[in-house]
Amino acid sequence: MSKSKGYRDLIVYQKAFALAMNIFRITKTFPSEEKYALIDQIRRSSRAICSCLAEAYRKSYQGYFVNKISDADGENSETIVWPEFALASDYISQEKFNEQEDAEEVGRMLNSMIEHPEKFLPKEKLKEL
Strands, DSSP E only, in the chain?
none
Compute the distance between CA of residue 73 and CA of residue 85 in angstroms, rounded to an integer.
19
> Are 72 and 52 in contact, with CB atoms under 8 Å apart?
yes
Compute the distance between CA of residue 13 and CA of residue 124 in angstroms, rounded to an integer.
23
Cα dihedral value 112, 14, 129, 45, nearest 10: -90
Closest CA to 110 of 64, 77, 83: 77
CA 123 from chain centre, in angstroms, equals 25
pLDDT (tens digit, 9 = 90+) per residue, 18-32? 999 999 999 999 999
All structural domains of the chain: 19-115 (1.20.1440.60)
Q: Answer whether 0.85 is exceeded by the pTM.
A: yes
Given a cut of 80, whether residue 124 has pLDDT beyond it is: no
**CA-atom Rg of the chain in angstroms:** 16
pLDDT (tens digit, 9 = 90+) per residue, 22-65? 999 999 999 999 998 999 999 999 999 999 999 998 876 889 99
**According to the model, what pLDDT value does residue 4 have?**
53
